Structure 1
Amino acid sequence: MAGRRRGRYRPLVPGIFEPELSRRLRGATHVLIAGAGGGFDVYAGLPLALALREAGTRVTLASFAVSELDRIPAHTWLRSGLVAVGPDSPGNDRYFPERTLARWLDRAGHDPVVYAFARTGVRPLRAAYRALIERLGVDAVVLADGGTDILMRGDEAGIGTPEEDMTSLAAVAGLDVPVKAVVSLGFGIDSHHGICHAHVLENLASLQRAGAYLGGFSIPPSSAAARAYVDAVAHANASTPLHASIVNGQVAAAVRGDFGDVHVTSRTDGTELFVNPLMAMYFTVDLDGLASHVHYLPSLERTRTPMEVALAIEEYRDSVPTTRPRRPLPQ
C-alpha cells in the first residue's frame, strides 16, 4: 500500500474482469431470454434474466414449449405458433413449465408473462420469433440450454436429444438481431443422455479458435439472482413433483454448494450423480458462430415440423462414416 495515493488506481480491464456476454448485453435495451430445448430449459436462463433486470435492463422470458398449448383458447394467441402464458393460463396441471414459471414470477413480484413458442420446425419457429422480436422491440436474444446438447456439432459419439435445441438455434441464426448468444448451464448433467463431456470441451476449444467462445462464469451463490433461482426451482419441483426438472435440480444443488451424489427428486433414484461447482457455470458462445459449427444445421433450414427435424438429424447421423470416439476426462 505504501506509495499509493487515493484516486490513482487504474480501472479494471473489462476484457479480464467482465464476462464478454455482459459486455455485449450492456448496451441492449430489451433482451429476450428463451429456453432453447423446451421443458424447463427456460429456467436455465432465469439467473441471467434476474441479474439483468436488477441492473435495469428490460428482459422478457420465452420457451420453445413441449407443453399442451392447445388448451389455451385460440383468441388469446398472438399469432400462429406464439402465445403469452400467464399464471392463470389453462393447461395440464401435471406438466406446464411455462405456467409454473409464470406463477413463480408473479409470486416474486416480477412480470409474470412467459411467451411460449409452439413446437414446430425451423421455418414457423423463425416466423414466430420474428413476430415477437418486432412486437417487443427486442435487440438481443439469448438462447438458454439446460445441459450441453446445444454445443454438439453432430459428429460426436453421442449428441443427446438435440431436436428442440437445434430447431431454436437454426431459427434464431436466421434472424437479424444486433446481439445473439447461447448460454449452456449444467456441465456434466447430460451424461445420462449419452453426451461425452470431453467432446463438449473440445467443441468449446474449437469455438474459441474461431472467436465464438465468449467464456464461462459462475452464478455467484450469494447473489439475489442465485437465491431467487434456487427458490424458483424448488417451487417448480413442488408444483410438478412427477416431472421435476433433473437438470435444474442439480444446478440449484450446485449453486447451494452441494457436492457428489445429491438427489433432489425421486426421478434420479438408482443413478449416481456428481453434483459439483462446474454445473453452476454458464458457458457462453456467440450464436451465429455456434450455428456455423453444427454440421447438419443447413439441412434443418426448410423444416416445418418436429418430425422433419428429427428425420434430418437422423439422416445426417447415418451419413457420418465415423464419429469421434468417446474419451474420459483425464482428471
Structure 2
Amino acid sequence: MTHLDKNPFFDRIKESKNVLLAGAGGGFDIYSGIPIYQNLINSGKNVVLANYSFTLLEETTSEEVFPNCYKVRMGDSDKSGRNYFPEKYLCSFLGSKGAYITVYGLSRVGVQPTRDTYNYIIKEHDIDTVILVDGGTDSLMFGDEEGLGTPQEDICSMAAAHRTGVKNQILLSIGFGVDHYHGVSHYRFLENISELTREGGYLGVFHLLPDMEEAILLEELVEYANIVMRGRESIVANSIVSAVQGNYGDFHRTKRTKGSELWINPLMSMYWAFDLHKVIRKIKYYDEIKASKTIGEFNMGLSSYRQNIKKTREKKNIPI
C-alpha cells in the first residue's frame, strides 16, 4: 500500500544501487532522462547512461565495445559530416559541469541484438534497475490503435530490456501532446493508462518545475545542443523545455517548427511512470517482433500483426 505523500516511482527505485538509464526511442530521448539522472546522482546512486541511437555510430571515432554498442565520450567526433551526435554533445555538456561520463550508444537494430547489448551493459555494471525514457507518448500505444506514431525504436528498446530478465524495470514517458503530429491519439494514451492502472502497471506522475535543479539542467543542456547542432534541434526536447518555462499554445523555440501549429501545455513537463514488464504484456504484437534481428524484421512483424487486425481503436479527441 502507498500513501498520498509517497510516489510509487521513487519508492520503486529507493533501494536501487546501480541504475541503467536509457533513451528508448532514439535521437534525443536520453536528454529527456537527464533530470532523472541528476536526481539519481544526488541520491547517491551509480548511473549508467545509454541511448538507442540515430547517430551513424560506425562513422564516429567512438569505440565499439560490443556488437552494435559504442562507448561515446566527449572527445569523440562524427566523421560522416551529418553533425548529428546527441550522445557526444551530452558528454561534452556534462563534462563542462565536471561530470566526465560516457554514454553507451546502441545501433539501430532489432530486438535480439539490442537485448544482447543490454545484457552486456547489465553484466559490466552489475545493474539492478533499468529505466527507459521516451520523449513522447507513442511507447504507450498497444498496437490496435488507429495511429501508432513511430513505435519501432521505443518498442524495440522496451522489448529488449524486458527480455534481459532484470526484475526492476520502469518506463517513463514525458512530453504529453508532442506525438499528435505523428498521429497519436492522446485519448487512447489515457485509455491505455487506465487499463494499466487496473492491472497495477501505472506508477503515477511527477512534474518538472522551473526552479528545480533538474529542470534547470535540462534547459541548459537543450540550449547547448541547439547551438552546437543548429538546424538539427530536437523538437521534443525544446517543446518540453518550453512547457517547463511556462509557455503555452503555439509557441516555437526553434525555427524547425515554424509553419506548424504546436500545443505547448503544462502536461508536457510531466513524467508518467509505468512498470515496463506490465506495459510489454499489453503490446499486442510482441510475439511478432521479439525475435527480430533488424528494424526491417521488426517492421515486417508489426505489419503482419496490423494486417490481421479485425478492428482498430479509431482516433478520438479528448472530450473536454
User: Above 0.5 in TM-score?
Assistant: yes
After the TM superposition, which of the residue ranges 56-65 and 286-295 deviates more from structure 2?
A: 56-65
CA displacement at 1:14 relative to structure 2? 5.5
Structure 1 stretches of 5 or more lacking a match?
1-12
- Give me the whole-angstrom Cα distance separating, in 2, the residues matched to 1:228 and 1:88: 21
Corresponding letter in the other structure for 2:279: L
Instruction: Give the structure 2 partner of residue 82 of structure 1.
Output: 69
Note the C-alpha offset of 1:81: 1.3
Is 1:125 aligned to residue 125 of structure 2? Answer: no
Matched with 2:125 is 136
Matches within 5 A, 1:194-233: 194-233=183-222
1:94 aligns with 2:83: yes
Q: Distance in 1 between matches of 2:23 and 2:273?
A: 14
**Residue 6 of structure 2 corresponds to residue 26 of structure 1:** no
CA deviation string 1:68-124 (max 9, x = no partner):
1012358x3211111110111121552111111111111122232111111111111
User: Is the Cα–Cα contact under 8 Å of residues 93 and 221 in structure 2 kept in the other structure?
Assistant: yes
The 10-residue stretch of structure 1 (129-138 or 53-62) with the greater mean CA deviation from structure 2: 53-62
1:6 alignment counterpart: none
Counterpart residue type for residue 172 of structure 1: A
Structure 1 residue identity aligned to 2:58: D
| Letter of the 1:281 counterpart | M
- Normalising by the residue count of structure 1, what TM-score does the alignment of the two structures yield? 0.93
Q: Secondary structure at the match of 1:262?
A: coil
Find the counterpart in structure 2 of residue 16 from structure 1.
4
Structure-1 residue corresponding to 2:35: 47
1:109 aligns with 2:98: yes
Question: In 1, distance between residues paired with 2:242 and 2:252?
Answer: 9
- Contact 1:94/1:242 (8 A) holds in 2: no
Q: Provide the rounded CA distance (Å) in 1 between the counterparts of 2:15 and 2:209.
A: 22
Distance in structure 2 (CA, Å) of the matches to 1:80 and 1:134: 15
- Cα distance change of structure 1 residues 216 and 179 upon mapping to structure 2, 3 Å threshold: same
Q: Which stretches in structure 2 are left out of the alignment for 5+ residues?
A: none
Q: CA deviation at 1:132?
A: 0.5
Residue 281 (str. 1) matches residue 308 (str. 2): no
Q: Give distance in 1, aligned partners of 2:253 and 2:303.
A: 34
From 250, 256, 260, the counterpart of 2:239:
250
Structure 1 runs of 4+ aligned residues shifted over 6 Å read none
Alignment partners' CA distance in 1, 2:247 and 2:6: 27
CA distance in 2 between counterparts of 1:172 and 1:111 reads: 26
SS where residue 4 of structure 2 aligns?
Answer: helix
Structure 1 residue matching 2:226: 3-state secondary structure: helix
Residue pairs, 1:304-323, within 5 angstroms: 304-323=293-312
Greater displacement, 64-73 / 177-186: 64-73
In 1: Cα distance, 2:225 partner to 2:307 partner: 38
Distance 1:14 1:301, change over 3 A: closer
- Whole-Å separation in 1 of the counterparts to 2:47 and 2:246: 28
Is 1:65 aligned to residue 65 of structure 2?
no
Distance 2:166 2:211 in 1: 33
Distance 1:111 1:60 in 2: 12
Secondary structure of residue in 2 paired with 1:66: coil
- In structure 1, what is the Cα distance between the partners aligned to 2:167 and 2:295? 28
CA distance in 2, matches of 1:60, 1:201: 31
Displacement, 1:232? Answer: 0.5
**Coordinate RMSD, CA, aligned:** 1.3
| Number of residue pairs matched by the alignment | 318
1:298 equivalent in structure 2: 287
Looking at structure 1, the residues matched to 114 and 217 of structure 2 have their Cα atoms a distance apart, in angstroms, of 30
Q: Which has the larger radius of gyration?
A: 1
Q: Give the CA deviation at 1:276.
A: 1.1
Q: In structure 2, what is the Cα distance between the partners aligned to 1:138 and 1:59?
A: 9
Deviations 1:246-295 (A, max 9, x none): 00100011111111111011111111111111000001100000000010
| 1:131-171 C-alpha deviation (Å, 9 max, x unpaired) | 00110111100010000111000011100001111110110
**Structure 1 CA distance for aligned equivalents of residues 290 and 248 of structure 2:** 41
**Does 1:165 pair with 2:154?**
yes
